[in-house]
């Protein structure tokens, strides 16, 4: 990297490591903050975070890249909450009466355990469970033991064999965990094997690395990926604060190599649950040529009661975006169910009056569209 963005520059200097080291994604993973002490090297932790870090570890492990920890540390303290809530456990994780471990009953929908086949034409293929950060709301918390942390030949062979045996599958989402926490060679082998299946038309990679480990998106990686086109990437920004120059560089690299990038956010209390925050996030994404794709209403995942806003709030936020943002920047608000994603939408169609269609316009007024409907 010739130009070093300020966050990277400052963080490396504070740690006393070279920029070259700090921007090496393997170094970042080796130094992932997993304990209270690790995180305290970057941040002053609140009492509820300290308690969360000591008591909630049994529920789901903690992991924060030095990059993301530095991002939190360098963000205005008044705004940090939106980042902290995503990755630092709180004592509230232990107080969730409703949350369950597999809210999508993915286990029932997995013909082989790592391939989730809900729709006829597409599957989610969970290849490995390592992540750059462990999002406290993750609904795949329980998958660890089944899939394993690292790419594993047996799992991949079995998934590939299943996909090859089902000619209706045209679209494979490679997910996890984060499938880019692996060597370029391992990712390439996977892409190669999927490309060798004639009925697989498109491949999608779901990764949070542009958000939490942007240094993973190297030139070598994108040059390799582009040999297996059409490959799409879906990433997972939840807050405009995450769209740093480092993240921008990663996104630009992907898009410049012909990889369309979409974004899937999760609707989270304290993170993006206001019109203003969602507006900033979506507008920032399109500036980086990233299309806001889905906004997921959070599931009843164990340990997330404090992060789940109501569906009413979600509908109000989405309604607030319409008219203020280009349609390009507006994601579809959905709830994922065991049988697929269901859109959650404010209904603007009020009904019919004789031959006319009655619509609620963006100012809340009734518009009567004349004609035969």
Ligand X SMILES: *Cc1c(COP(=O)(O)O)cnc(C)c1O
**Residues engaged in binding ligand X (CB under 6 A):** 116, 118-119, 122-124, 173, 336, 341
- Between CA 143 and CA 140 the distance in angstroms is 5
- Cis before 366? omega within 30: no
Our finding on whether 135 is near ligand SF4 (CB under 6 A) is yes
Start-to-end C-alpha separation, the chain: 59
Q: Which one of ligand X, ligand SF4, none is in contact with 208 (Cβ closer than 5 to 8 A by kind)? A: ligand SF4
Shortest gap between Cβ of 177 and ligand SF4 (angstroms)? Answer: 5
Binding mask 153-192 for ligand SF4 (x = CB under 6 A): -----------------------xxx--------------
Of 44-52, 134-142, 292-300, 324-332, which segment contacts ligand SF4 by CB under 6 A? Answer: 134-142
Is residue 94 classed as helix, strand or coil in its secondary structure?
helix
**Residue among 286, 318, 336 nearest 138 (CA):** 336
Site for ligand SF4 in 241-300 (CB under 6 A): none
User: What is the closest distance, in whole angstroms, from the C-beta atom of residue 205 to ligand X in the complex?
Assistant: 13
Nearer to ligand SF4, 126 or 317 (CB): 126
At its nearest, how many Å lie between ligand X and the CB of residue 105? 11
217 binds ligand SF4 (CB under 6 A): no
Q: How far apart are CA 84 and CA 290, in angstroms?
A: 24
Closest CB to ligand SF4 among 128 and 282?
128
Quick one: residue 34, left, alpha or beta (phi over 0 = left, psi -120 to 50 = alpha)? alpha
Q: Are 140 and 128 in contact (CB under 8 A)?
A: no
Task: Decide if residue 126 touches ligand SF4 (CB under 6 A).
Answer: no
3-state secondary structure 13-61: HHHCCCHHHHCCHHHHHHCCECCHHHHHCCCCCCHHHHHHHHHHHHCCC
Q: Which is nearer to ligand SF4, 12 or 308 (CB)?
A: 308
CB of 243 to ligand X, least distance (A): 22
Which listed residue (39, 123, 138, 160) binds ligand SF4 by CB under 6 A? 138
Residue 25 CB, nearest approach to ligand SF4 (Å): 14
Q: To the nearest whole angstrom, how small is the minimum distance from the Cβ of residue 124 to ligand SF4? A: 11
Rank residues 176 and 248 by Cβ distance to ligand SF4 and give the closer one. 176
What are 49's two structure tokens? Answer: 């975070």
**Contact call for residue 99 and ligand SF4 (CB under 6 A):** no
Compute the distance between CA of residue 181 and CA of residue 132 in angstroms, rounded to an integer. 7
Residue 164 zone, left/alpha/beta (φ > 0; ψ -120 to 50; rest): alpha
Looking only at the bridges linking them, the beta strands covering 349-353 and 366-369 are unpaired
CB atoms within 10 A of CB 105: 12
Query: Does residue 68 bind ligand SF4 (CB under 6 A)?
Result: no
Q: Which does 126 bind (CB under 5 to 8 A by kind): ligand X, ligand SF4, none?
A: none
- Nearest-angstrom CA–CA distance, 196 and 190: 10
- Residue ranges that bind ligand SF4, judged by CB under 6 A: 131, 134-135, 138, 140, 176-178, 208
């Amino acid at each position: 990297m010739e130009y070093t963005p300020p966050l990277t520059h400052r963080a490396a200097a504070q740690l006393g490591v070279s920029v070259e080291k700090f921007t090496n994604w393997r170094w970042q993973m080796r130094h992932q903050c997993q304990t209270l002490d690790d995180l305290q090297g970057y941040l002053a932790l609140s009492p509820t975070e300290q308690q969360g870090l000591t008591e909630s570890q049994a529920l789901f492990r903690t992991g924060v890249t030095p990059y993301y920890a530095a991002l939190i540390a360098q963000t205005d303290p008044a705004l940090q909450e939106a980042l902290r809530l995503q990755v630092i456990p709180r004592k509230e994780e232990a107080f969730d009466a409703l949350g369950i471990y597999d809210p999508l009953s993915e286990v029932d929908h997995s013909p082989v355990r790592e391939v989730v086949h809900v729709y006829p034409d597409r599957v989610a293929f969970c290849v490995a469970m390592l992540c750059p950060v462990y999002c406290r709301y993750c609904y795949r918390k329980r998958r660890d033991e089944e899939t394993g942390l690292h790419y594993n030949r047996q799992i991949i062979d079995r998934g590939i064999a299943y996909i090859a045996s089902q000619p209706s599958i045209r679209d494979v989402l490679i997910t996890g965990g984060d499938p880019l926490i692996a060597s370029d060679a391992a990712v390439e082998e996977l892409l190669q094997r999927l490309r060798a299946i004639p009925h697989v038309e498109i491949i999608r990679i779901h990764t949070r690395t542009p958000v939490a480990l942007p240094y993973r998106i190297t030139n070598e990686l994108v040059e390799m990926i582009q040999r297996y086109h059409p490959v799409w990437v879906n990433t997972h920004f939840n807050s405009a604060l995450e769209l740093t120059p480092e993240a921008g560089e990663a996104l630009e690299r992907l898009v410049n190599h012909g990889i369309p990038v979409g974004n899937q956010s999760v609707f989270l209390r304290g993170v993006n649950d206001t019109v203003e925050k969602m507006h900033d996030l979506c507008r920032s994404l399109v500036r980086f040529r990233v299309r806001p794709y889905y906004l997921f209403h959070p599931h009843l995942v164990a340990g997330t009661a404090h992060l789940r806003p109501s569906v009413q709030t979600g509908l109000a936020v989405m309604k607030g975006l319409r008219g203020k943002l280009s349609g390009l920047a507006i994601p579809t608000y959905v709830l994922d169910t065991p049988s697929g994603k269901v859109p959650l939408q404010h209904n603007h169609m009020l009904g019919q009056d004789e031959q006319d269609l009655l619509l609620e316009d963006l100012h809340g007024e009734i518009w009567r569209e004349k004609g035969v409907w």
